[in-house]
């Protein structure tokens, strides 16, 4: 954030370059939280930029050609002041507020800029300093006199005397010199305080091992550098960037040099916003991976519970066989039967529950049905357990890679991360680009992607599919590209999974109403896009063919696994 000393430097630039100039145009970008005043003087066209975005705020004067608007948002005019001549510019004494006196058609107005970072604002006042309008929707009474918030009682570094400084330091002996400078000297932030102490030869920033009068001289010298702005330096300090009209000796990395301090401030705004966007993206991606890991962990626990229950399927067969042996003793309406368990040695009495609404034969068949369901379900659950475990291992690998090196991991796992990202935020605002595919689950939990149309088919096949994964398409018939996503590279799909994916591919084609449809499949590495071919048109090698009945994915399969 700019300090009052930065505004001192800016006002010096403004007085030198735009006083006497005419405001040729204004642009306000509400969503971007940025306003620009384009000023023409002699042959130069300059832009006074006012940005109050939380990620990167600042006020600067740069050549109009340097302003790059990257938003599609429609700009709005500001205050209807085009054609006004800038008569004078004045800074409120050592404050972050400055005033432009402007004249239009013989009428004098004042434009007050509060360079307070994200809380900044611009006010339009009449000749008597009464409020006419405001850039932001700040509470005010139209016609009321504008009054700025009073400055805290601090030392002005531009008029600082050694005696005043020493007296103030003696009154607060418990404060470290770094904190003392930040608390008691106008315009001094932590970086400037540390720089002053270093230039004064202080060995430690947390105790007074320096003569206060020498420190006062260093503070005054640094402040004076802002009154004669020239070259600007963009410093990387810790996790942020800061701008000064001189090089900081405490910076570990050499600063970037700019022709003017204002150009450096504009670069700072852009750098801070870019850095914030990178941080936001990192947080969004990491959060999406964490949510996916938790979902798979919950699913794994549920599958394991179902497997434990399905393990009793042999017991149901035994009960069915016992009922067959004692079939003549079963009567409709009975809710249980006590019989000898001949499978025990010696035989023992056992009670088998019955459904009174079923006939003896139906009760026997019910137990054999539970046996078959448990036996077949156990195989399916085992497969789901294998696939879910593979997906969980892959996500944990991605999570570890993101923690180690976010940028390279993001590039390496671009396909996997794309499927995890949320598609829309509140109000329907798109969070990530639209996916070119629909996602379904097979009965085993395996994911498949179905291209939406011609161009989307190409993207689904060539951007979101690994070379070793299977690709499906109806034979000699227009339809969607369908790909089978593997939980890991060593995965081998079963015959049932291939048939199930092929049936969905047949459903997403023009042959969806046929009883049997031929579907080809091959590894994606053998699918190629001919030059200048129409969207969705590809050539295929080493394909296999299978006849399937088109099958619509069940509703349960539409829920993404991640």
Domain coordinates in residue numbering, the chain: 4-134, 157-271, 436-558
Token readout for 384 is 């789901």
pLDDT higher than threshold 80 for residue 483: yes
Range with the largest mean pLDDT of 182-196, 364-378, 400-414, 515-529:
515-529
This prediction has a pTM of 0.54
**Looking at residue 345, what is its pLDDT?**
83
**φ, ψ (nearest 5 deg) of residue 214:** -70, -40
Out of 123-127, 171-175, 372-376, 553-557, which region has the weakest mean confidence (pLDDT)? 553-557
CATH class of 4-134: mainly beta
**Looking at residue 327, what is its pLDDT?**
92
pLDDT higher than threshold 80 for residue 41: yes
**Looking at residue 560, what is its pLDDT?**
42
pLDDT higher than threshold 90 for residue 507: yes
**Model confidence at 206, in pLDDT bands (50, 70, 90)?**
low
pLDDT higher than threshold 80 for residue 355: yes
pLDDT higher than threshold 80 for residue 218: yes
Mean pLDDT estimate for the chain: 88
User: What's the average model confidence in pLDDT over 451-473?
Assistant: 92
Closest Cα to residue 229, out of 256, 254, 264, 268?
Answer: 264
Out of 228-232, 518-522, 551-555, which region has the weakest mean confidence (pLDDT)? 551-555
* SS3 (DSSP) at 336: strand
DSSP secondary structure, 107-161, as one string: EEEEEEEE--GGG-EEEEE-TT-BEEEESS-----TTPBP-PPPPPS-B-GGG--
300 within 8 A of 385, measured Cβ to Cβ? yes
**Model confidence at 555, in pLDDT bands (50, 70, 90)?**
low
**Model confidence at 278, in pLDDT bands (50, 70, 90)?**
low
14 within 8 A of 66, measured Cβ to Cβ? no
Range with the largest mean pLDDT of 43-57, 236-250, 448-462, 494-508:
494-508
**Looking at residue 200, what is its pLDDT?**
86
**Looking at residue 230, what is its pLDDT?**
85
pLDDT higher than threshold 70 for residue 348: yes
**Model confidence at 203, in pLDDT bands (50, 70, 90)?**
low
């Amino acid at each position: 954030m700019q300090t009052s000393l930065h505004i001192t430097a800016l006002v010096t630039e403004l007085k030198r370059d735009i006083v006497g100039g005419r405001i040729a145009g204004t642009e306000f970008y509400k969503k971007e939280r940025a306003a620009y005043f384009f000023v023409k003087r002699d042959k130069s066209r300059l832009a006074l930029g006012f940005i109050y975005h939380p990620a990167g705020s600042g006020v600067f004067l740069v050549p109009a050609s340097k302003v790059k608007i990257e938003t599609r948002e429609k700009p709005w005019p500001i205050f209807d002041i085009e054609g006004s001549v800038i008569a004078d510019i004045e800074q409120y004494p050592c404050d972050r507020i400055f005033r432009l006196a402007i004249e239009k058609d013989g009428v004098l107005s004042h434009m007050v800029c509060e360079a307070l970072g994200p809380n900044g604002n611009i006010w339009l006042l009449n000749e008597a300093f009464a409020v006419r309008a405001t850039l932001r929707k700040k509470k005010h009474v139209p016609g009321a006199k504008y009054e700025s918030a009073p400055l805290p009682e601090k030392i002005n570094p531009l008029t600082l005397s050694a005696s005043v400084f020493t007296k103030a330091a003696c009154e607060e002996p418990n404060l470290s010199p770094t904190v003392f400078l930040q608390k008691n000297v106008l315009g001094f932030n932590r970086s400037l305080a540390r720089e002053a102490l270093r230039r004064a030869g202080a060995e430690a920033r947390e105790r007074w091992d320096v003569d206060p009068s020498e420190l006062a001289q260093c503070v005054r010298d640094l402040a004076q550098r802002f009154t004669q702005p020239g070259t600007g330096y963009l410093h990387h300090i810790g996790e942020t960037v800061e701008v000064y009209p001189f090089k900081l000796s405490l910076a570990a990395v050499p600063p970037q040099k700019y022709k003017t301090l204002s150009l450096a401030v504009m670069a700072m705004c852009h750098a801070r916003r870019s850095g914030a966007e990178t941080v936001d993206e990192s947080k969004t991606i990491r959060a999406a991976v964490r949510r996916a890991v938790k979902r798979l962990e919950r699913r794994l626990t549920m599958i394991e519970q179902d497997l434990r229950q399905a393990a009793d399927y042999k017991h149901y067969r035994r009960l069915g066989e016992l009922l067959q042996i004692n079939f003549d003793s079963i009567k409709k309406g009975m809710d249980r039967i006590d019989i000898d368990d001949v499978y025990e040695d010696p035989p023992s009495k056992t009670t088998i529950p019955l459904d009174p609404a079923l006939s003896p034969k139906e009760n026997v068949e019910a137990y054999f049905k539970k046996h078959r369901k448990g036996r077949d379900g156990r195989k399916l659950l085992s497969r789901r357990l294998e696939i879910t475990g593979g997906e969980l291992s892959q996500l944990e690998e991605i999570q570890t890679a993101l923690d180690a090196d976010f940028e390279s991991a993001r590039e390496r796992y671009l396909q996997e991360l794309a499927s995890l990202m949320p598609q829309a935020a509140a109000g329907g605002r798109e969070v990530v680009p639209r996916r070119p595919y629909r996602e379904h689950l097979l009965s085993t939990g395996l994911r498949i992607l179905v291209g939406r149309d011609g161009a989307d088919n190409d993207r689904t096949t060539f951007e979101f599919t690994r070379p070793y994964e299977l690709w499906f398409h109806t034979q000699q018939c227009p339809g969607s590209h369908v790909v089978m996503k593997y939980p890991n590279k060593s995965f081998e799909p079963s015959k049932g999974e291939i048939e199930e994916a092929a049936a969905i591919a047949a459903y997403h084609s023009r042959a969806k109403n046929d009883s049997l449809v031929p579907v080809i499949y091959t590894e994606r590495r053998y699918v190629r896009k001919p030059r200048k071919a129409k969207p969705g048109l590809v050539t295929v090698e080493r394909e296999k063919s299978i006849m399937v009945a088109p099958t619509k994915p069940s509703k349960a399969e539409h829920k993404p696994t991640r």
